[in-house]
Structure 1
Amino acid sequence: MIRTEEIYDAATDDAAFDQLASRLAESVGARSAVLHWGQGAAQVAEISYSGYFSAEQMAIYGQEFVHDDLWGAALDGRSANRIWDFDAVVPVATYEKSRIYNEWIRPMGDDTFHCLGGVIQRGDTVGHIGLHRGRTQKLFDDQERAVVQNIVDHVGRMFDIRHRLDRANHQGRTLQATLDLVEHAIFTLSASGRLVSCNAAGEAMLRRQDALLLRQHQIVARDPQSDSAMQAALRVATAREATQAGAVFLARERGLPYMLTVAAIWTGEERQVVLIATDPGAQDASLAGRVRALYGLSRAEADIVVALCEGKGLEDVSQERGVALSTVRTQMKNIFWKTDCSRQSELVSRLARLPRLGPINR
């Protein structure tokens, strides 16, 4: 019998999630099992196999046989969060003559024939569960179906937690990428002045050491007079009654000084300080550069996006780049996946709303 703690361990532990299908199979004496979830019935975000079938065999299933899966098709229109015995849903004679059985299962020397499974839904997270036995093994009985039914709610909550964590991680990556594309150096400090994080421009500024230095995890100004002004602004920002942002000039070895904006923010119960160093020589980032930073696109993918935003079609891109149209379409699939878009019009509309980053006035 699988313990509920094992299911909830899989909510935050990737290794436990990978092993969960195996543990479920063991709990009812199934030969193999599969679990997967996504945001919607047509999407698979994560999958856990028991290991009975190899990764290569599962890849063939995904590429050639997923639409021939009679057990999956039988779930359409059926109640979610209910475990079904597919021997009672899909006639044995129908399954025996099916393409998936005769062209995928049997050529592997396998006889997978019986299945317990169902759709698990919680909010906008939709998952599937399936446990299997061979043709010569005993049928699943009502007691085994009840065992799986009793854990459905827990599995649904686990799917939902992983979905929420995945979304939070995605938002965190998107936020960091957004900060990285801004040419201002941005630093987040604890109330004690310890550096918590910074964007790419901030890291570059610290490496240059032309105005700011990192000493024992504390940000200090290279110029003593600038440092005195900055430390005073930090003390004001961390004061309990602080409500406004301050600004000081940071002298540097060569060129115009940076303007440093110092402001306090609240993160739950904790106060932090944000430093924004503005370089008078900063220039606007190109659209290609920004979408690469935002979504992790390759240079070629970013160029395709820019061309689409200019009103060009995929055929135009193919001719201009001297590559096959099929290659461009494959790149578009990668772009859709990375940008979480499903249509070209949606992609262009989203990127058209990107803010312009104007140059800083001298």
Structure 2
Amino acid sequence: MTSAPSTTADLEAFINILYDASLDPERLPVFVRRLADAFGAEFGQFLVRGHEQHGFVINVMSGFDAAEPARFEQEYAFREEQAPWLGAASETFSSTAYYRERLRLQGIGDGLWLHCDDDDGRSALIGVFRRIGAGPFSDEDRDRLDALRPHLPHAMRLLVRVAEMEVQGDITRGLCEGMACASVVTNATAHVAYANAAAHRLIEAGDGVTMLNGVLIAAESRQTRDLHDNIRRIARAARDGDLAAVSQTAMALERPNGVKTVGCVIRPLAVRTGSLSGSKPLVHIHLASSDAVTVPASGLLRGLFGLTPAEAGLLQALMQDKRIEDYAEERGVAVTTVRTQLAHLFRKTDTNRQSELVRLSIMAAGVLAP
């Protein structure tokens, strides 16, 4: 068993582990396990609570039943909804009958805690716990754990910042992946920083664009120079703050079949500035082909326009440029029945022509992946 941090070297080692884990939350379980072992404890917990409405930012529980972390968070969220004061301060939280009862149910007899709070409503808790009958912690143990107290607020701020960045990244990726349109983000040299699922399908098929060593290139090599020139021009304008002159540009990328083209619109996405990273403008490339209309799911169309399943099916067919007569034959119904359904579609969408109906449907739902 590792001894509790008693020397300066031992303490510095644990402080370094704490900060390393704060920058890389995947290491937190190792820190919690080592800290518990150092104090002769079977259990450990590292808890960071965000703003009241955000619940737990971090909740690492070592030695507990495997289902306890999820159960703990669910019950906490329920109780906070019923009594918001429950988590108002970390001292209050760890001393509540609810928290003590959760520990007792896990067979815990004694515990040591460190708490800290900041002015933004965030709090952190580090705890080590022993089973019932394992004996209490000593005053010396308390002093040793307390040596980490000055570092806990800094670790909490790092963890919250890292967690916020991860959440923002998840939100951005989730929104982009849910879009039917193909989106690519590159730097000024056309190196791909991100491509959503729709873009990956085009790239993998070599449909207008592809990639070589991480660089976006045109599927027809003779167009690659123009593509890269346009990307550099937009990136340079963004870097120099000259967007009034060049805010976006567009070009048509040829496809291998030579029949239709893929539209390519290039615009600045963001300009990062700062003394550490300098200015690194990114560009957003939107790719679209005229024959790549994404037909929304029936349930989405029904929810948007209040359609019946039959009406939604007809609208899907119209978005695929099917003739009413062909659709009626395909469904095994009379053409007059389909025309009646079409009349209902016009009424429910407040449109008068098929082209207007299809355009409205694409605008309302076509941006979403099916």
What TM-score do you get using the length of structure 1 for normalisation? Answer: 0.60
Pair 1:229–1:156, CA change in 2 (3 A): same
Contact 1:82 1:119 in 2 (8 A): no
Shift, 1:14, TM fit? 4.0
Measured on the aligned residues, the alpha-carbon RMSD in Å equals 4.4
Unmatched segments (≥5 aa) in structure 2: 6-10, 78-82, 274-278, 307-362
Shift, 1:136, TM fit? 4.9
Task: Find out whether 1:5 has 2:8 as its counterpart.
Answer: no
Unmatched segments (≥5 aa) in structure 1: 68-72, 290-302, 311-354
Distance in 2, Cα, partners of 1:79 & 1:235: 52
Task: Find out whether 1:32 has 2:43 as its counterpart.
Answer: yes
Residue in structure 2 matched with residue 266 of structure 1 by the alignment: 271
Distance in 2, Cα, partners of 1:64 & 1:83: 15
Residue in structure 1 matched with residue 260 of structure 2 by the alignment: 256
Residue in structure 2 matched with residue 147 of structure 1 by the alignment: 144
Shift, 1:174, TM fit? 1.8
Residue in structure 1 matched with residue 170 of structure 2 by the alignment: 173
**SS at structure 2 position matched to 1:55:** coil
The one of 111, 118, 123 aligned to 1:115 = 111
Residue in structure 2 matched with residue 341 of structure 1 by the alignment: none
Moved beyond 6 Å, runs of 4+: 63-67, 81-84, 306-310
Report which of the two structures shows the higher radius of gyration computed on alpha carbons: 2
Distance in 2, Cα, partners of 1:163 & 1:135: 33
CA deviation map 1:82-108 (0-9, x unaligned)? 999x8xx99xxxx9xx8975xx46xxx
CA deviation map 1:186-231 (0-9, x unaligned)? 2222222323321112111112213223234332223466445434
Distance in 1, Cα, partners of 2:91 & 2:102: 28
What is the count of residue pairs matched by the alignment?
277
The one of 35, 43, 49 aligned to 2:61 = 49
Contact 2:46 2:60 in 1 (8 A): yes
Distance in 1, Cα, partners of 2:45 & 2:213: 49
Pair 1:308–1:26, CA change in 2 (3 A): farther
Pair 1:134–1:266, CA change in 2 (3 A): closer
Aligned residues with identical type, % of pairs: 16
Distance in 2, Cα, partners of 1:279 & 1:124: 49
**SS at structure 2 position matched to 1:220:** strand
Distance in 2, Cα, partners of 1:212 & 1:29: 60
**SS at structure 1 position matched to 2:27:** helix
**SS at structure 2 position matched to 1:247:** strand
Contact 2:59 2:69 in 1 (8 A): no
The one of 275, 299, 320 aligned to 2:285 = 275
CA deviation map 1:52-104 (0-9, x unaligned)? x4436x4798499989xxxxx9x9699646999x8xx99xxxx9xx8975xx4
CA deviation map 1:321-342 (0-9, x unaligned)? xxxxxxxxxxxxxxxxxxxxxx
CA deviation map 1:149-186 (0-9, x unaligned)? 33234234323322322221222122122222333322
